[in-house]
Amino acid sequence: MCAFDMPLRFLKGVGERRAEQLSRLGVFYVGDLLHFFPRSYEDWSVIVPIQDAPYGQPCCVKGTALAAPTENRIRKGLSLYKFTVSDGISTMKVILFNNKYAAAKVKTGQEYLFFGQVGGDFTHREMSSPLIEPASDGQCIRPIYRQTEGINTRFIENCMAKALELLDKELDDDPLPAKIRQQYELCTRRFAIENIHFPTDSGALAISRKRLVFEELLILQIGLLKLKSRSRSSNSAVIEDDFTSDFLNLLPFKLTAAQSRTMAECIRDMQGERPMNRLVQGDVGSGKTAVAAGVAFSAVKNGFQAALMAPTEILAEQHARSLTALLEPSGVKVGLLTGSMMVAEKRRILEALSAGEINLIIGTHALLSEGVTFNRLGLVITDEQHRFGVSQRATLAAKGLNPHLLVMSATPIPRTLALIFYGDLDISILDELPPGRTPVETYAIGSDKRERAFNYIKKHIAEGRQAYIVCPLVENGEETDLASATEYFDKLAEGSFKGYKLGLLHGRMKPSEKDQIMKAFIHNEISILISTTVIEVGVDVPNAVLMVIENAERFGLAQLHQLRGRVGRGKHRSTCILISDAQNQEAKRRLKVLCSTNDGFRIADEDLKLRGPGDFFGSRQHGLPALKIADLTEDMQLLRLAQDAARQVLQEDPDMKHPDYIALSGEVQKLFENVGEQGLN
């Protein structure tokens, strides 16, 4: 067995119980441990004189204990241990809380290193609960790892040292060829792994991180390029004629320039040598569905079938209604397939689809079922792409022979981030809204003004309008300060909105229950819908004009923008009210951004700056691998270099069979082993 693949329980000092605890961190094998990178570092290598120690910032101070710690009992179960240290010029008081073990190790006259934050004032310095090491142990940069119950960072540090010792020879096997390392000025794998965990100095840490970030992004980009080339073997659904002008005659409105440009890009792809593989990314209300309808219309008029997959039955039904009304007068037969349909109706749809009698089928995940067959599938469209993984769209595409693929997302993300999450797709951006779309007015208020907001809701309900109230949790857990949707519903039903028609919607409800509630809301049988974020991707309810979001600081900016997009979809003026008592400056800044603009792309850029890429999407939602060390807010230059290198590798050796690339190819396969049934080959 290769030492990389050795289960952690066999590593010295780990055992069954610790291995189980480490598995909660996603670490199962010795190889996993080496790629479990520190989340931060404690720099013990820079010693700061006591008098120069910065207030409120982690630093390392060296001092001699002038006396052994004295114990002060504050109350039963709580003791303070205090002692004074000196660096020969200044003194500092050290305070330990309930740490008899650490206090017992401190001896009078011995010199120690203290790592922590210095407090006090200009008359005296003090450090509370610092980490303490004998000065003789030397000065170094120490790794800090993510922890879990029963496992602290020092234990992981010790395990890491043993793993490096065990894998000593394996570290010389470098997946990056020497010529790539030389071209991009990268260190060896051995140097990178050793110094990312135990850096000799800050320079070695920077060199190691550059190498590991580059390697991670290179492997990801090669995999995405291979995915793209896999789906572009040859175009077996060539669109001979462009029917866009005929489609435009069906529309009761004029397309925006962005819609026309995007539709032309799609048609050009479908007329080319390889199948279309395109993402249409646009803000809420930018008209993605009209683009999809136009592209599907041309595909159908050229003799092919098209499939549109939506994330919910409600959304699928909405698309089916609108597209049936638009397209069937021109001879395009539209069908609907969902999981809740009666067996007989489902059988009728499947037979008509297989016989080619249905030109455009709209459905949910039911379209992925084994029994769904097409007569001549030429175009696959997925709506709200971030709800579907790479493997799901690959499964639907496999029902045709290299069909064209169009994916739509109403979640604006910066183009730089799209290069990662949608790296296997070409990208079109709908960057303008159709005329007549009314911007949603947005306000941030404290909870002390909640009742005023509720009175505002009542005023609009009296005029026949509807409202959403969104909460971040379904039921109370440890975070009892947060409004729970279920308890909040009961509270409002008996309090502020007693006698009003209320509905409750949350993610733990059965799909049929959710659909029933949403249908009631659509038909104005519910005036106020109290919901979690399940309405983030939803249907058009033009009569809903108010969106109130509780604990707004708990949401990402992009998510708040999506929620806000549920209103402002009709002719009435709409308002979004963000309720938050957060005093955190970053939270206030985020809410201020949302109040100042309705531009989803500007909001996405701000979200990326404020919170980093992790809050846009979980990688598991996409079916794409997680990034372990790269940070897209810092590493965009390395991303561009890695993309250049990936293209260079695949141009030189598309199958990566050359001995220089075999190890690198293995890393790509390992990273993408769960992407689609066909893998990357």
Mean local confidence (pLDDT), 494-507: 91
State how far the Cα of 345 lies from the Cα of 336, in Å rounded to an integer: 10
285 pLDDT more than 80: no
Q: Is 80 helix (H, G, I), strand (E, B) or coil?
A: strand
Strand bridging mode 404-409 / 277-282: parallel
How does 114-136 read in b/e, with b if 16+ C-beta sit within 10 Å?
A: bbbebbeeeeebbbeebbbbeee
Q: Give the number of other Cβ atoms within 10 Å of residue 341's Cβ.
A: 16
Residue 435: phi, psi to the nearest 5? Answer: -60, 150
Read off the pLDDT of residues 199-210 as tens digits, 9 standing for 90 and up: 998 899 999 999
State how far the Cα of 681 lies from the Cα of 669, in Å rounded to an integer: 9
Q: Is 673 helix (H, G, I), strand (E, B) or coil?
A: coil
Q: Which residues pair with 409 in a beta bridge?
A: 281
The single residue listed with the structure tokens 């959304």 is 315
Query: Given pLDDT bands bounded at 50, 70 and 90, which one contains residue 5?
Result: confident
Q: Of 264, 255, 288, nearest to 600 (Cα)?
A: 288
Mean local confidence (pLDDT), 268-274: 90
pLDDT of residue 621: 38
State how far the Cα of 40 lies from the Cα of 60, in Å rounded to an integer: 15
State how far the Cα of 343 lies from the Cα of 341, in Å rounded to an integer: 6
Query: Given pLDDT bands bounded at 50, 70 and 90, which one contains residue 266?
Result: very high
Read off the pLDDT of residues 52-107 as tens digits, 9 standing for 90 and up: 998 888 999 999 999 999 988 887 778 899 999 999 999 999 999 988 888 999 99
Half-sphere exposure of 134 (CA within 13 A, CB side): 7
The single residue listed with the structure tokens 């077996």 is 236
What number of residues does the chain have? 681
Q: Is 528 helix (H, G, I), strand (E, B) or coil?
A: strand
Mean pLDDT of the chain: 85
231 pLDDT more than 60: no
Mean local confidence (pLDDT), 530-552: 83
pLDDT of residue 482: 46
pLDDT of residue 600: 81
State how far the Cα of 310 lies from the Cα of 338, in Å rounded to an integer: 10
Mean local confidence (pLDDT), 369-390: 78
CA angle 398, 400, 401 (to 5 degrees): 95
Q: Of 285, 267, 284, nearest to 276 (Cα)?
A: 267
Half-sphere exposure of 62 (CA within 13 A, CB side): 14
In this prediction the pTM is: 0.63
Q: Give the number of other Cβ atoms within 10 Å of residue 179's Cβ.
A: 10
Strand bridging mode 111-121 / 404-409: unpaired
pLDDT of residue 393: 64
pLDDT of residue 421: 61
Asked if residue 664 lies in contact with residue 176, where contact means CB atoms within 8 angstroms, the answer is yes
State how far the Cα of 537 lies from the Cα of 387, in Å rounded to an integer: 9
The single residue listed with the structure tokens 């003789």 is 136
pLDDT of residue 392: 64
State how far the Cα of 646 lies from the Cα of 91, in Å rounded to an integer: 56
pLDDT of residue 159: 92
Residues in contact with 348: Cβ distance below 8 Å, sequence separation at least 6, in sequence order = none
Query: Which of 117-121, 204-208, 380-384, 670-674 has the weakest average pLDDT?
Result: 670-674
pLDDT of residue 397: 73
Residue 58: phi, psi to the nearest 5? Answer: -60, 135
pLDDT of residue 209: 96
Residues in contact with 57: Cβ distance below 8 Å, sequence separation at least 6, in sequence order = 117, 118
pLDDT of residue 587: 83
State how far the Cα of 563 lies from the Cα of 454, in Å rounded to an integer: 18
Q: What's CA 161's distance to the chain center, in Å?
A: 32
State how far the Cα of 82 lies from the Cα of 67, in Å rounded to an integer: 10
Asked if residue 236 lies in contact with residue 402, where contact means CB atoms within 8 angstroms, the answer is yes
Read off the pLDDT of residues 290-325 as tens digits, 9 standing for 90 and up: 999 999 999 999 999 999 998 888 888 889 999 999
538 pLDDT more than 70: no
State how far the Cα of 115 lies from the Cα of 351, in Å rounded to an integer: 72
State how far the Cα of 579 lies from the Cα of 564, in Å rounded to an integer: 13
What is the percent of the chain where pLDDT is above 90? 48
Read off the pLDDT of residues 552-611 as tens digits, 9 standing for 90 and up: 988 878 788 888 988 988 888 999 999 999 888 878 888 998 999 888 878 877 776 665
Asked if residue 467 lies in contact with residue 528, where contact means CB atoms within 8 angstroms, the answer is yes
Higher pLDDT, 618 or 296: 296
pLDDT of residue 586: 79
Residues in contact with 170: Cβ distance below 8 Å, sequence separation at least 6, in sequence order = 2, 3, 4
pLDDT of residue 217: 92
448 pLDDT more than 90: yes
State how far the Cα of 462 lies from the Cα of 39, in Å rounded to an integer: 53
Read off the pLDDT of residues 349-368 as tens digits, 9 standing for 90 and up: 999 999 999 999 999 888 88
Asked if residue 602 lies in contact with residue 594, where contact means CB atoms within 8 angstroms, the answer is no
616 pLDDT more than 60: no
Half-sphere exposure of 243 (CA within 13 A, CB side): 19
pLDDT of residue 268: 95
Segments of 543-620 assigned E as strands: 544-549, 575-579
pLDDT of residue 388: 52
Q: Is 534 helix (H, G, I), strand (E, B) or coil?
A: helix
Asked if residue 205 lies in contact with residue 195, where contact means CB atoms within 8 angstroms, the answer is yes
User: What value does the CA radius of gyration of the chain take, rounded to a whole number of Å?
Assistant: 30
Residues in contact with 171: Cβ distance below 8 Å, sequence separation at least 6, in sequence order = 164, 189, 190, 193, 194
258 pLDDT more than 60: yes
